[in-house]
Amino acid sequence: MSAPKKLYIKTYGCQMNVYDSERMAEALAGYESTDTPDDADMILLNTCHIREKAAEKVYSELGRYKGLKADKPDLKIGVAGCVAQAEGEEIMKRQPMVDLVVGPQSYHRLPELEAKARSGQKALDTDFPEEDKFEHLKSRPKAKRGPTAFLTVQEGCDKFCAFCVVPYTRGAEVSRPADRIVSEARDLVERGVREITLLGQNVNAYHGHERGLAGLIRALAEIEDLKRIRFTTSHPNDMDDDLIAAHGDCEKLMPYLHLPVQAGSDKILKRMNRQHTRDDYFRIIDRLREVRPDLHLSGDFIVGFPEETEEDFAQTLDLIERVKYGSAFSFKYSTRPGTPAAERDQLPESVKDERLQRLQALLVSQQRSLQDAMVGKTVNVLFEKPGRLPGQMVGKSEYLHAVHVESDTLIPGDLRSVRIVESGPNSLKGVLN
């Protein structure tokens, strides 16, 4: 019997791409995974189009594999994900060594595309197929899993924010049926998963359950050995009453929420086509904290959006001061071809740089302050893996803080009560209660 072919996948971007990469590897059943491209029979780049110069970074990465391709003519190289969707056939024109290009809605067709590439033909599929890709993917293998897992429940976005390419690369909002999600979640739990993070480009727009995302969360909470539920990423306009209530009455839904606002100025929010105001956002936060006072919030911020004045930026800083974030992601605005904001007059890079530094300094200060305040408190930690030091285990608190504990008895999957004794730059140290 010949040895199985080896597959190397490099994943860019969000948690949804991490999940997609897992499903791609499962779809290519004739391959086993490898951690290095050097001994791979197929290299697959699962790309993201959100960050600045995303396509150029992919082309640069492909350039590194020219030598491998020359040494191994049978090596197949593929590009998947959102850059594949946006660039399509152009990828093969710019990098003729690429054998396969597949968009994020078509990767269930990978086996046929791989076979076509193996026959010496170029394989391209960037359609938005009518069939549900999840229905056509193979059943997930029964291998043992770690204690945490991602589970995609919704894809695409109908919001059309002026800075974002997601509606063009992932398509319209589509929700998976709740019964299929619950079935996949049960399968994950049977294999050792104790915490599931529900994923979607706009996850709280989920409509595959008659009661929306809150209904799905409550259905998942009935799985006995599933201990924790999280979801990301959300839009303020889809935080409905039932979902807000779930943060107060669903014990398994963790007190951590990623709720991007992007800017604090109503003028900039309107120009971004966010379809909410700063006061709308504040009202949602107040309602969430009313039902769950210990809720930790995370957010996204874009600085230097076209037409942003110093006064607009000051309103963003004011919003951050008022909300107080446990963590956040912040970026300079960069153009995405085909989006409305790309056609507008751009701010100087020096202005963007200076504002980003001020904004990040405030966010880091808040994050550190909230983390330091955890010292002396008791949290529940789901342990995931050994730490860097002998006898150390690392896990996550309900607030998503990384927590280190010295213990010779802990194993991955243990959920234990821990008293926090020290706050470090990016993690907490605790002792078992």
Which residue numbers belong to the known binding site for [4Fe-4S] cluster? Answer: 14, 48, 82, 157, 161, 164
If you compute the radius of gyration of the chain from its CA atoms, what whole number of angstroms results? 22
Q: How far apart, in whole angstroms, are the C-alpha atoms of residue 121 and residue 426? A: 48
Binding-site residue numbers are 14, 48, 82, 157, 161, 164
Helix (H, G, I), strand (E, B) or coil at 382: strand
Tokens 């550190």 belong to residue: 368
Question: Cα separation of 100 and 118, whole Å?
Answer: 10
Measuring CA to CA, which residue among 268, 203, 267 is closest to residue 239? 203
First to last CA, the chain: 53
Strand order in the sheet with 256-258: 256-258, 296-303, 327-332
CA distances from 216 to 103, 147, 171, 224, 253 (A): 27, 20, 23, 15, 11
**Angle, CA of 298, 213 and 234, to the nearest 5°:** 25
404, 427 Cβ separation under 8 angstroms: yes
Q: What does residue 168 show for φ and ψ, rounded to 5 degrees?
A: -90, -30
Q: What are the tokens at 116?
A: 């076509």
Tokens coding 229: 């539920």
Containing H/E element for 70? helix 66-71
CB < 8 Å & 24+ apart, contacts of 309-317 = 311/265, 312/263, 312/264, 312/265, 312/267, 312/268, 313/265, 313/355, 313/359, 315/263, 315/264, 315/265, 315/266, 315/278, 316/263, 316/264, 316/265, 316/268, 316/359, 317/264, 317/358, 317/359, 317/362
188, 297 Cβ separation under 8 angstroms: no
Name beta bridge partners: 150: 197
DSSP string over 224-279: TT--EEEEE---GGG--HHHHHHHHH-TTB-SEEE---B-S-HHHHHHTT----HH
CB atoms within 10 A of CB 93: 10
